[in-house]
C-alpha cells in the first residue's frame, strides 16, 4: 500500500512510525520541515510538497491540526490536482459540518473521502491500539478498514461522513471535562489536608474512576506538563468545536463554557503548548499554602 501522510504533529508522527514499522510504502509531508527530521532518520521518505507526497499514493491520510490547515495544504493548486482518483482519509478532530464540506470538495475534484478520527495519542498510535471511528459509506469502510486496522484493532463504522466527527467531539469534550473535574478534586483534597493516597484509594474502588486520573496524577502532583501527548491549545480548539456543535443541537453549553475559560486562561499564562493537564495551574495555582 502506497500511503501519503500529511501532518506530522504528535499524533501524525506516531501514525507515520506505525505504518512504516508495518511495512507500508510511506511518504510524509509537513509544513514545518523541522517536525519531519525524526521520521527522516528512521528512513521514512519526506516530500517537499503535499502534491509530491500524494503523487505516488493510493491513499492520503490527513493528520493536520484543524480544518483551516487541511484546506491550506490539500487545496493549493498542485495538491488539488493530485486529489483526482485518490482516497482522502481525514483523521484529525474537526467539526461535522467541516468534514461534510471537505467531502463535497474532494469528490468535486474527482477523489473519494472518508473520516476516521481516533481516540488515543502517541503511545497508542505507535502500538497500533488507537480506537478508530469511521464516517463513510459501507463500501468505503470495507475497502479501507484493513489499512486502518494497522493503527487500531477497534475500527468502528459510525455512519456516513459527519457522524464520526460528532462522536469524536463528544469524546474530546469528556477529556476536557474529566480533566477539569479531577484537577478541582485534587486541589480540594490537597488544600484540605487529605492524603492523596486516601483520595485515590477511594476513587479507584468507585464508579467515579477513570484511567485518565491515574495517567495525569503524577503530572499534577509535580506540576510537570512537559512533553505533552495532547496540548492545551489543541484541546481548546476541540472544546470550541464541541460548543459550536452544541449550539446547533440546542444543548446547554454552560458546563463546557467553564472548562473553555480555564483553557483560555491556561494558554494566556503561556502554557498552551504544554500538556492539557496544565489547567491545574488555573484551578490550584501556586502561591497559597496547601493544608
* Percent of the residues in the chain that have a pLDDT greater than 70, as a whole number: 98
Per-block mean pLDDT, blocks of 10 residues, the chain (291 long): 94 96 96 91 95 95 96 95 97 97 98 97 94 98 98 96 98 97 98 97 97 96 95 97 96 96 98 98 80 46
pLDDT number for residue 291: 46
223: left (phi over 0), alpha (psi -120 to 50) or beta: left
**Claim to verify: residue 146 and residue 12 sit in the same structural domain:** yes
Do 37 and 152 belong to one domain? yes
Domain that holds residue 130: 2-159
Query: Could you give the angle at which helices 67-74 and 96-108 cross, rounded to 10 degrees?
Result: 10
Domain count, the chain: 2
96 within some domain? yes
Asked which of 134, 159, 184 is the last residue of a domain, the reply is 159
User: Mind listing the pLDDT tens digit for each residue in 158-209?
Assistant: 999 999 999 999 999 999 999 999 999 999 999 999 999 999 999 999 999 9
For the entire predicted model, the pTM comes to 0.93
Cα→Cα distances 133→69, 160, 161, 212, 242, Å: 21, 11, 11, 20, 17
Task: Please name which of 51, 71, 263, 289 lies closest in space to residue 190, comparing C-alpha atoms.
Answer: 289
* pLDDT value of residue 286: 86
Residues 33 and 86 in one domain: yes
Domain boundary residue among 129, 159, 189? 159
Q: Mark whether 154 and 178 lie in a shared domain.
A: no
Amino acid at each position: 500500500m502506497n500511503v501519503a501522510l500529511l501532518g506530522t504533529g504528535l499524533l501524525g508522527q506516531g501514525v507515520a512510525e506505525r505504518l512504516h514499522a508495518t511495512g507500508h510504502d510511506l511518504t510524509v509531508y509537513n509544513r514545518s520541515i523541522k517536525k519531519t527530521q525524526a521520521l527522516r532518520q528512521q528512513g521514512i521518505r519526506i516530500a517537499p510538497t503535499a502534491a509530491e507526497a500524494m503523487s505516488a499514493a493510493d491513499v492520503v491520510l490527513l493528520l493536520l491540526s484543524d480544518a483551516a490547515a487541511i484546506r491550506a495544504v490539500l487545496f493549493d493548486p498542485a495538491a488539488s490536482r493530485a486529489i483526482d482518483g485518490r482516497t482522502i482519509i481525514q483523521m484529525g478532530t474537526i467539526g461535522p459540518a467541516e468534514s461534510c464540506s471537505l467531502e463535497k470538495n474532494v469528490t468535486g475534484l474527482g477523489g473519494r473521502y472518508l473520516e476516521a478520527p481516533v481516540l488515543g495519542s502517541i503511545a497508542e498510535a505507535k502500538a497500533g491500539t488507537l480506537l478508530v471511528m469511521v464516517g463513510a459509506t459501507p463500501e468505503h469502510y470495507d475497502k479501507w478498514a484493513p489499512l486502518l486496522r494497522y493503527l487500531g484493532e477497534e475500527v468502528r463504522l459510525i455512519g456516513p461522513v459527519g457522524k464520526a466527527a460528532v462522536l469524536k467531539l463528544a469524546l474530546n469534550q469528556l477529556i476536557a471535562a474529566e480533566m477539569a473535574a479531577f484537577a478541582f478534586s485534587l486541589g480540594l483534597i490537597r488544600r484540605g489536608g487529605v492524603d492523596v493516597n486516601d483520595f485515590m484509594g477511594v476513587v479507584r474502588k468507585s464508579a467515579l474512576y477513570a484511567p485518565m486520573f491515574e495517567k495525569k496524577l503524577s503530572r499534577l502532583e509535580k506540576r510537570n506538563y512537559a512533553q505533552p501527548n495532547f496540548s492545551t491549545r489543541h484541546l481548546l480548539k476541540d472544546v470550541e468545536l464541541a460548543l459550536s456543535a452544541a449550539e446547533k443541537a440546542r444543548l446547554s453549553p454552560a458546563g463546557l463554557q467553564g472548562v473553555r475559560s480555564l483553557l483560555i486562561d491556561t494558554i494566556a499564562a503561556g502554557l498552551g503548548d504544554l500538556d492539557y493537564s496544565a489547567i491545574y495551574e488555573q484551578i490550584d495555582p501556586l502561591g497559597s499554602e496547601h493544608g
